Amino acid sequence: MICIIALVVFGILGIFSAKYRTIAKEAFDCVFRKITLRKCDSRLDLRLKAQITGKLMKRHQGLGRQIYKHFEIIAWIFTILMFVSLFYTGQGIYYFAKYGNCNGPNSNSFCIFDPLHSLNNNDDSGNICSAPGFEENKTLSFTGLIDDKPFLGNENASIVIVEFGCFACPNTKVAVPEVNKMINTYGDIVKLVYFDFPIPTHQFSYESSLASSCILINDVDKYWNYNSKLFDNQGKFSEALFRDLAIKVGADVNKFDVCIQTNQSKKIVDSDYQEGINSNIYGTPTFFINGKPYVGVVTFKQFKEAIELEQKSNI
């Protein structure tokens, strides 16, 4: 049984270092021979037994002798534990891929494959970029107009998700892949609308929103690509970068320049920001799913649960 463990261990180590590949091959040969009821000619199992128990005896002679005496039983126990561990790891990966949680459907338990799972919709500690001077104890409520806003998904969807985000907010960026996964999965039944809520304490937060809205004014079909590139380049913001990104997405750079120079997009950004104030937003990202507030990073699993709940309520 020690050869099976050696095959797994040295097989993995062999990926990173050539010196372990010979042992991995030897372990494979040994396991294959054992399976076919033949002796392990390389005597790898005996060498490993001698090396392991020899090192243990140097530290504790009595323990080393006991392990040497019961080595086969101990090897069997570790082999069984290894296979059980591999089974549950595989099951967890399968559940995570299918249900968004490695513990199976409808589970809210901790999942090691989902680092954002522990974030609660109503617990924004470390999960949002707080806007200074805003109160957190007010009731969040969105009643703004979305008809003229850029959207992703189905324009006529019965489930509307409103996001208030800041291009310079790290937590808004963390939410991006979760939002994208949600749109890719539920885009036919969901409409996502984005509002700018630049956090004043973040450098270039307002300027990045102005740049994004300039794309919206002149090249609406380039807006979401530009939106995405801003998050990709978070931390590198400058006026020159905003212009370079406009060129990269294929926007009319001359119109973009005029828009920036004449502050054409200021009205849009200020209007979005005021909607955030009216909704009692106190940080980004903040989402409203059919009017229900979700403060902080919302995971795909949380989106899934909220969307399916709205679907049931619409039946």
- Mind listing the pLDDT tens digit for each residue in 294-310? 999 999 999 999 999 99
Report the CATH number that the domain containing residue 257 is assigned in CATH.
3.40.30.10
Q: Is residue 108 part of a domain?
A: no
Burial state string for 209-238 with b = 16 or more CB within 10 A and e = fewer than 16: bbbbbbbbebbeebbbbbbebbbebbeebe
Strand ranges of the sheet holding 151-153, from the earlier edge strand across to the other edge = 151-153, 190-196, 159-165, 286-289, 292-295
Give the residue numbers spanning the domain of 66. 2-99
Q: Is residue 136 part of a domain?
A: yes
Same domain for 213 and 305, yes or no, is yes
- What's the number of domains the chain is made of? 2
Q: Is residue 106 part of a domain?
A: no
- The token duo for 169 is 């907010």
Burial state string for 254-284 with b = 16 or more CB within 10 A and e = fewer than 16: ebbeebbeeebbeebbbbbbebbeebbbbbb
pLDDT at residue 9 in the model = 66
Q: Is residue 145 part of a domain?
A: yes
Same domain for 136 and 284, yes or no, is yes
pLDDT at residue 65 in the model = 78
Q: Is residue 111 part of a domain?
A: no
Q: Is residue 105 part of a domain?
A: no
Same domain for 89 and 160, yes or no, is no
Q: Which residues of the chain have pLDDT under 70?
A: 1-3, 5-10, 32-49, 52, 64, 71, 96, 98-101, 103-126, 315
- Residue in 221, 222, 227, 214 with CA at minimum distance from that of residue 261: 214
CA–CA dist 166, 152 (Å, integer):
18
Same domain for 43 and 160, yes or no, is no
Q: Is residue 268 part of a domain?
A: yes
- Angle of helix 71-99 versus helix 2-16 axis, rounded to 10: 50
Q: Domain ends where: 77, 99, 121?
A: 99
Q: Domain ends where: 79, 99, 119?
A: 99
Same domain for 86 and 172, yes or no, is no
